[in-house]
Amino acid sequence: MQNALASGVVPQISLIMGPCAGGAVYSPAMTDFTFMVKETSYMFVTGPDVVKTVTSEEVTAEELGGAETHTTISSVADGSFNNDIEALNVLRKFLSFLPSSNEYKYIKRKTDDPKKRISLALDTLIPENPNLPYDMKELIVSIADEYDFFELQENFAKNILIGFIRLDGQTIGVVANQPMVLAGCLDNDSSRKAARFVRFCDAFNIPILTLVDVPGFMPGTAQEYGGIIKHGAKLLFAYAEATTPKVTLITRKAYGGAYDVMSSKHLRGDANYAWPTAEIAVMGAKGATEIIHRNDLGNEKKIAKHAADYEARFANPFVAAERGFIDEVIPVSYTHLTLPTNREV
């Protein structure tokens, strides 16, 4: 009852440092973040003995509800630690990112990191080949104060990144597609993961920075049967409903419905930026060309010409900027200078 009443009023964190079973697991499940200690903590509603009796399935307590299970498969836990001391030390740092209650307008601390910083290394982050991946964490770390990124649910739904950084000393929630995993596509797990995080940030007035490189939603029967329509809608709803400042940066691909749900202007994004490498369209130039000009399939020169024409007319940030969907196309190395802080949006 108390967990429910405190939800959205004060941040709630659970640290599981031993056994937690039966009805007791529902208290940490109702908190905002749950962390575990490897090999010494576990969580489950029914233990291994009951499981064996009812289903004849043999499983250990660690396999059923250990830290690895809950950080990689179930997503019940947001992180795990090697021992109790590490857990307490890291959570002290984690608490510094969070407000004491929802009455705080924003959280800021002093930093010696220069606000006006140019990151020339970002100019080579995006590969020339649009089909090659890159690590979005490099961008997050590059723009963060003191290059510090506190990532949550690192080992679950790795195709999307969530966590906290600081910009000019202010806590910022980050949601970012990860091209290194599934090309950054959204699926059931990543949609739920991001939606819950967006709702937390909104409840506690934490501005949200969304970094977009998403070619679409993951296709296939597994996703459709798993309810990707509803799970994708959760992310859309979370962004649309959020009233905390929302800043979006499109780095490369932003296609179709996945572009919409990643804090686009259509979902009341306050400031939407794009790098010159951004491609904002219904789908990629090659795929669109093969549909529109299917009669020319087999003629590589014509298809290449049509694709180039499509990119020039549709799949670039300047066209989106002309139509008001992008506020500004910014130089890559000046990203840190451009992103607003201190609720400037």
- Catalytic one among 22, 220, 308, 312? 22
Residues forming a β-bridge with 66: 42
- Catalytic one among 67, 195, 258, 320? 258
279-307 in b/e burial notation, b at 16+ Cβ within 10 A? bbbebbbbbbbeeebeeeeeeeeebeebb
By C-alpha distance, which of 48, 52, 2 is closest to 26?
2
Rounded distance between C-alpha atoms, residue 63 and residue 202, angstroms = 35
Q: Which pairs count as long-range contacts for 115-118, CB under 8 Å and 24+ apart, including other chains?
A: 115/168, 115/341, 116/336, 116/337, 117/336, 117/337, 118/333, 118/334, 118/336, 118/337
Rounded distance between C-alpha atoms, residue 32 and residue 126, angstroms = 34
- Whether 66 is catalytic is no
The dihedral formed by the CA atoms of 53, 56, 62 and 67, expressed in degrees to the nearest 10: -100
| Collapsed DSSP state (helix, strand, coil) of residue 310 | helix
Is the CB of residue 235 less than 8 Å from the CB of residue 275? no
Angle value at C-alpha 142, between 138 and 147, nearest 5 degrees: 105
- Catalytic one among 47, 226, 256, 257? 257
- Whether 65 is catalytic is no
- Whether 257 is catalytic is yes
Positive/negative CA dihedral, 237, 183, 33, 204 = negative
Q: Which pairs count as long-range contacts for 85-94, CB under 8 Å and 24+ apart, including other chains?
A: 87/15, 87/17, 87/35, 87/37, 88/15, 91/13, 91/15, 91/35, 93/150, 94/13, 94/33, 94/150
Active site residues: 22-23, 257-258
